[in-house]
Structure 1
């Protein structure tokens, strides 16, 4: 029974990782220290009787783990960049007589050294590609030492040094608008393999033009053939139900050959086609038998054709598909880059539920888990190497870029979701080197373009924002940002069409703007009246910029998204777009944002709490009936007594009826071109005090309802003069506190954006450094308030709040 359980577990882990045989995630029993050591001996030396005789002290951690889980958004410090060490002890027993024992890293940042006891096994440069450390010989040698039995009691000590120190001669540039994280922030696996095994498996799935025939060309590279007479194997293709639809046999018998073997080319009649609406996947399984031992590896593939037509739309499987896209960074509240598989799955499902069919993975190779989810959910992908900003470094810099491009393409070659290999991002952004030579950048960009096409002729290449290189890749995305960094959002269509006419294959990556979660506005477009200076060159007055002059409200960003989406429905030439970005993420370049060090352009917060703008996209991009009244996070509106206030409903239903305080204000029909909210908006007089708002929406026979309660304040306020701190909720040992800004008469200042600083003294723990509106100890107020949570630890604590120009206030918190 136990043996059967172990076999089943090994199979399940293999299915998760894509590797065969005995593969185990090494998540637990790790120790970590965030500093350098004097040498490897400090990680493995015996502990003297009575305990450690000196610091530093190691802390227990689980993987994945990031150096910068919290300090990336700490408002008072620069995030840590330097070395850190991990150590563990492994019980290693490879069942294969002459097999290899590997540590498989799914990603570690940014320079990594691997040790077995005091032996340095290997080093790796690059924080985003996968790699392995072969520890076979080092383990065998250590098992012969006295320390193996006496000090480590039959276990093998493994120590890993990660380092994310600043280095101009590595990619990505430290000028990039994201943190260059450190740590073992993706999974580490212990792998046992036979002597002969498949190193890389390439399964190219192609379709006939009429989509009625498919072929799978299977190629592979092998490890261990130099010590085997030959390897025999099978290639089997199975459909989603597990039925075999193709098979072949092969023999490889060139022990000195180190290249790629062509193993089999299989025909699949009437293949089921992969698409966002039906992401059908086949399984390719390859076995390799040598010396009486068998290695097995599987890959998921899909059949699809695609084309970015010159000066035209995107075609998938012979039909136009408008790419409805977003972007993603590997970043999350409380863990930094160390997202678990469950977190990734939740995030990608939220994208799919919003209607996304395309994603640009910015700006580096991302976890295989994310790409697997793109395949299974039906989300087309642009993945790019991390050559991002700063210019072009020397020979070592360029070799790293070549290697990371190669690794990305070879490791993610089989994913049907991928259609574009990105060559870089904003490579016109200088600053890392004294020389910024556009011709040298062009030359290297051409080399990378050629390399990508050589490694994978089936896909296209792309870059975003580098005008002097835009003729090099197959697809180009210029910078537009209408309504945020330039012009007005109503200028979007014209600017896009102008750019479309300048480029052979046009795609619009990156648009949108920042929104401070919980901040709402009655008049979000007032920034347009902000006085602007005159351009001395042209004599014209510059346009006001929402990024600089706007209110950063959710209200404004919903309008911006709403306008873009309604315009895109009438742009038949548009291949598609990808707004920036799905989730708020940390960045060292934005210390003065309302949440310090957070890029707030997401439609979900850094902890995946949905912002109002999420529902704007859902109303345009999904078919499943939905309706959402704008303002779920807007507790109090304001205005004059009797004044009509606009209530918006984002919905994909054909019609909706609004009720306020039980009274119907009529039914309206949805028209996507009727801005805002596709015509589902009502001007309604709200009552002073509490208001109950409800919508009943219909789509065919389906009825959807949504309701909220909003207070309406008619009292006028002066500037903020004092703070009021109160406990608003307490459950499961966690207390939520809220501070409000009031004027001298005690009237809430509902448009106040003052800086708020929370501090805690006592037994509890302040849940801050999360990079969210309600999880930051220094944050700008949203509608005259801010919240924070405290884990009380069943003790006594005092929470204090400060804001410039006002007296500090305190709140006693008692744990239960």
Structure 2
């Protein structure tokens, strides 16, 4: 097992974005078995089936990695998600090609406490669900191969078992009071790695550029892994520019030490700069040459200059850049934390296509895949440790926080995208311990701030929402939720100016509000009339509750997509008029699961995302595009609004979100004129029309122009003029079937059979027979218990080539059924 050692250097910090590159590495994705409970001991994982034991218990299931223990139960509306031990086991063919080489298991992340076994020998333990770590299994494998059972019982394979445990533990971060699930499992990739007996454990490459002289510098250090204490070696490198040209190369002999060895200081005249528009990277290729075998690797680096101006904006490479950001949780429908590389790539590309240039990774170190994509897509990063809520624990708690900060900085140091190391989130939120001592929290925050700067002098530190620590870190983000938890969204600019005046460097992360996908409103701002404005716009204890307390949109609003697009629209148009603003980050990009919100319209979901948990875009996505992107786009509000309502002859507003200079709208084939875009003409930047819909079906089309480019969009909907009373009955029908998947919809009608378009009743789907509900997805279309959106709800059913009966129940109404086959 590799020992974890914290190195603190007072001069230049130490730093890596990649843990281990090797010519011999493979992801261990397949041939795993999983058990969602604890074992009596490791013997139960490896004992042979047969030999008088044909019915060995417990029963394991086949899975592939990455895998999350809580793939579905995190959003099960009828139970708490599982927090406890779980086991994984496999059998590996291990054949190290290097003479006296080392065999390593490289975990990219597993939650939250992990034990690793080779046969019955425990070879490693790790605490922390988000940093990378490695286990040297060489000696344990060699010992096992000498036993008789290696060939007789396991046919030349090596049994490896992994126990993960996400049980509640007050002496661990993050706190279980956090507004996200503390997942269990091997939910990031696990690699089998072969290295020679001398290899590079971490390579630290610090790239700098002077904006005046245009001189670039790269300082390179290495930390070696050499359990056999090999003394001397040679090392060579090549620095390759973004066009593939070698700009510098050399070879030198070195004496291997147990500390970090400085290898090179490289100067580059006028290096190509990395920026959010042109994220150009250099490649540092290196080869360690020794009698034990050669070890090759490479690091991507980028030359850029960053500055948060005191009492001012953010500069990248000497020019102001307004940070246009969002947030990411590691969470997805059907898999929870176990997102594949393909899923992560899709998510990050969707963010970039929305127009972001900045992201805060909440609230923990995230996958190397995410950071690599931020580098290549041009997305600046605030990455933080999971000291989140609950207060401050004891020595073990503090040691874990410092260890995770050290690992985060060292493992991700080389990434040009990272500009901030986050030290905590909502640390003013007590609850895990009897004592809540602000001075002790301040003292520990200072220790983390000092440690971060010792590890990395080139980046800023930051926290969000802990006012009594705001003076400790370099950059501070207060809590401003104008129009959601406090005040109206029109309070946003004044609230931001007030908070800006209190701190040295201001950056506003976390703003927005919840929206129940596919719920729309003809009068979304109605609840604002109840709200006290002009005061504080922060979030306070209890504000997230749907019950009690002062009037607030989070409790009294309609949770419609219509309202949240108005809120976002206002914020974005105001941000264009705040020259002192460094930037903001909307919370979050995607809906995510949380144990503290069981009563939300989709239970156990934080629904503040601009896309749903399965990447389905909400209307808000296009509002951001209209402000933040350059490629011509146009979007008519209401693609998921099948029925609008009002009086006959009443004009209704149609909103167009576009970055084009002008747009023309047509209703049922008739033009209602063109309008020019003006970002300060709220709402929809002036691209809004009041149109006289006709009863029944209507078609609205828009044609927008940006220079010579033309884009268009179209929606169809029903306009209902009949007035309804309260819901009195349910109508359930199948509305679609694709191969073996049927889609069913329930609608709420009054006594006269008129659709109740503002009904928000709780709806519960059920199924019996051969099929299975596609539920526990955490989406509006993927939950068996869900609040209605405009008097309806939809779910899909996997028919399994058989027959089933689906049911829908609503309190106070007669349950209805439908047969599916």
The interval holding the TM-score normalised by the smaller chain is over 0.9
Could you give the per-residue CA deviations for residues 187-246 of structure 1, whole angstroms, max 9, x where no partner exists?
Answer: 000000000000111100010222622111110100117521312101221112322111
Partner of 1:484: 484
Q: Aligned to 1:173, what secondary structure does the other structure show?
A: coil
Whole-angstrom distance in 2 between the partners of 1:229 and 1:442? 45
The 5 A counterparts of 1:101-140 are 101-140=103-142
Written as runs of structure 1 = structure 2, the 5 A alignment for 1:330-409 is: 330-409=330-409
When residues 211 and 682 of structure 1 are mapped into structure 2, their CA distance, relative to the original with a 3 A threshold, is farther
Q: Residue 673 of structure 1 corresponds to which residue in structure 2? A: 680
| Counterpart Cα distance in 1 of 2:786 and 2:227 | 59
Give the distance between the partners of 2:505 and 2:681, measured in 1 at CA.
30
Q: Deviations over 1:599-653 (max 9, x none)?
A: 0000000000000000000000000000000000000000000100000000000
Equivalent residue runs for 1:655-734 within 5 Å: 655-734=662-741
Provide runs of 4+ in structure 1 moved above 4 Å: 15-18
- In structure 2, what is the equivalent of residue 237 of structure 1? 239
Measure the CA separation in 1 of the matches of 2:440 and 2:152. Answer: 58
Which sections of structure 1, spanning at least 5 residues, go unmatched?
1-14, 536-540
The 1:761–1:79 alpha-carbon spacing in structure 2 relative to 1, beyond 3 Å, is: same
Aligned to 1:145: 147
Separation of aligned partners in 2, 1:529 and 1:670: 29
Match of 2:414 in 1: 414
Corresponding residue for residue 579 of structure 1? 586
Q: Match of 2:551?
A: 544
Residue 51 and residue 708 in structure 1: after superposition, are their counterparts in 2 closer, same or farther (change >3 A)? farther
| Residue 253 of structure 1: aligned partner | 255
How much does 1:50 deviate?
Answer: 8.0
Task: Kindly state the Cα deviation for residue 249 of structure 1 after the two structures are TM-superposed.
Answer: 2.4
Structure 2: distance between partners of 1:542 and 1:424: 28
Deviation, structure 1 residue 51: 6.7
1:236-260 CA distances to partner (integer Å, 9 max, x unpaired)? Answer: 2111232211123233214xx3211
Which position in structure 2 is the counterpart of 1:291? 291
The Cα of 1:526 is off from its aligned counterpart by 1.0
Contact 2:196 2:292 in 1 (8 A): no
Offset at residue 531 of structure 1 (A): 8.4
Q: Distance in 2 between matches of 1:732 and 1:457?
A: 57
Which residue does the alignment assign to 1:167? Answer: 169
**Aligned residue runs from structure 1 range 755-794, under 5 A:** 755-794=762-801
Q: Distance in 2 between matches of 1:605 and 1:50?
A: 51
CA distance in 1, matches of 2:737, 2:443: 61
- TM-score scaled by structure 2? 0.95
Q: Distance in 2 between matches of 1:213 and 1:16?
A: 26
Alpha-carbon distance between aligned partners in 1 of 2:352 and 2:423, rounded to the nearest angstrom: 26
Superposition map of 1:798-809 within 5 A: 798-809=805-816
Partner of 2:9: none
Give, in whole Å, the separation in 2 of the partners of 1:809 and 1:240.
63
Aligned to 1:538: none
More relative contact order, 1 or 2 (CA 8 Å, 6+ apart): 2
CA distance in 2, matches of 1:391, 1:738: 46
Q: CA deviation at 1:54?
A: 3.7
* Secondary structure in 2 matching 1:648: strand
Name the structure 1 match of 2:157: 155
Pairing of 1:444-455 with structure 2 (within 5 A): 444-455=444-455
Deviations 1:673-709 (A, max 9, x none): 0000000000001011000110000000000000010
Contact 2:83 2:166 survives alignment (8 Å): yes
* 1:16 Cα offset (Å): 10
Q: Specify the SS of the correspondent of 2:796.
A: strand
Q: Displacement of 1:532 after TM fit?
A: 8.4
CA contact under 8 A between 1:693 and 1:707: conserved in structure 2?
A: yes
In the aligned structure 2, how far is the partner of 1:647 from the partner of 1:529? 23
Structure 2, unaligned runs of 5 or more: 1-16, 536-547
In 1, the alpha carbon distance for the partners of 2:244 and 2:806 equals 59
State the alpha-carbon separation in 2 of the partners of residues 295 and 389 from structure 1: 43
Q: Counterpart of 1:293 in 2: which secondary structure? A: coil
| Alignment check: 8 A CA contact 1:18 1:299 kept | no
- C-alpha separation in 2, matches of 1:210 and 1:629: 46
**Which residue pairs with 1:626 in the alignment?**
633
Question: Is the CA contact (8 Å cut-off) linking 1:767 and 1:775 kept in structure 2?
Answer: yes
In structure 2, C-alpha distance between the alignment counterparts of 1:288 and 1:427, rounded to whole Å: 44
1:28-71 per-residue CA deviation (whole Å, 9 max, x = no partner) reads 00000000000000000010158742431000000000000000
What CA distance in whole angstroms lies between the structure 1 residues aligned with 2:115 and 2:241?
41
1:652 maps to 2:659: yes
Aligned-residue RMSD, C-alpha: 1.5
In 2, the alpha carbon distance for the partners of 1:52 and 1:79 equals 32
Within the alignment, does 1:795 sit opposite 2:797 as a pair? no
Post-superposition CA distance 1:255-288 (Å, at most 9, x none): xx32110001111222110000000011112211
Give the 3-state SS of the residue equivalent to 1:227 in structure 2: coil
Paired with 2:18 and 2:169, the residues of 1 have a C-alpha distance of 34
Alpha-carbon separation, structure 2, partners of 1:232 and 1:200: 17
Residue 12 of structure 2 is matched in structure 1 by none
> What is the match of residue 506 of structure 1?
506
Distance 1:444 1:16 in 2: 28
Counterparts of 1:39 and 1:633 in 2: how far apart (Å)?
Answer: 52
Alignment of 1:465-480 (within 5 A): 465-480=465-480
Structure 1 window deviating more from structure 2 (542-551 vs 503-512): it is 542-551
Counterparts of 2:213 and 2:708, CA distance in 1: 36
Instruction: Give TM-score scaled by structure 1 length.
Output: 0.96
